[in-house]
Structure 1
């Protein structure tokens, strides 16, 4: 499996708007076992995204799904940047 944990930064004052886009744009993605979007309680602009995939290749392929591309297009103007990014190798657990 392939895991990705990242902290995204919304443009100042735009976190809730960005969260709404990310949550409403959530679509089934082949190979995706878990996709969690969360507020960062330590940062007014921070968002954590935690993903678990069957493979790194399926994660990369998800970027070609039309609904995913549309969500990225809508979200991009509200993203100030990416603060942290960690790749992991999930072994199992609940919902995985």
Structure 2
């Protein structure tokens, strides 16, 4: 079943764009690990927050991806820019009106 991880990362003041730069770098290893979608966004009403929407083939593949060297390097680079405020939701996708192959 498809797995979704939708969350927020708090950025330290003045570092939101640098955090976005790290999170949006091309990373072919994610697709190979089962990532179907990885979207990063901002909202000007929340200047120290980065929003991330991930869609994975499974929760297990998402968890395993966190051990990839490329992902570990990005985490290490981003860590000093994070405020520690995080939020979000994780869920198994029940379906979509746009695609027949989810769920």
TM-score when normalising by structure 1: 0.88
The total of aligned residue pairs comes to 95
Q: Which has the larger radius of gyration?
A: 2
Asked if the contact 1:25–1:68 (Cα under 8 Å) also holds between the matched residues in 2, the reply is: no
User: Structure 1 regions of 5+ residues with no counterpart?
Assistant: none
Asked if the contact 2:11–2:50 (Cα under 8 Å) also holds between the matched residues in 1, the reply is: yes
Asked if 1:63 corresponds to 2:73, the answer is no
Asked if the contact 1:35–1:49 (Cα under 8 Å) also holds between the matched residues in 2, the reply is: yes
TM-score when normalising by structure 2: 0.82
Q: CA deviation at 1:25?
A: 5.7
Q: CA deviation at 1:22?
A: 1.4
Match for residue 49 of structure 1? 52
Structure 2 CA distance, aligned partners of 1:83 and 1:61?
20
- C-alpha RMSD of matched pairs (Å): 1.7
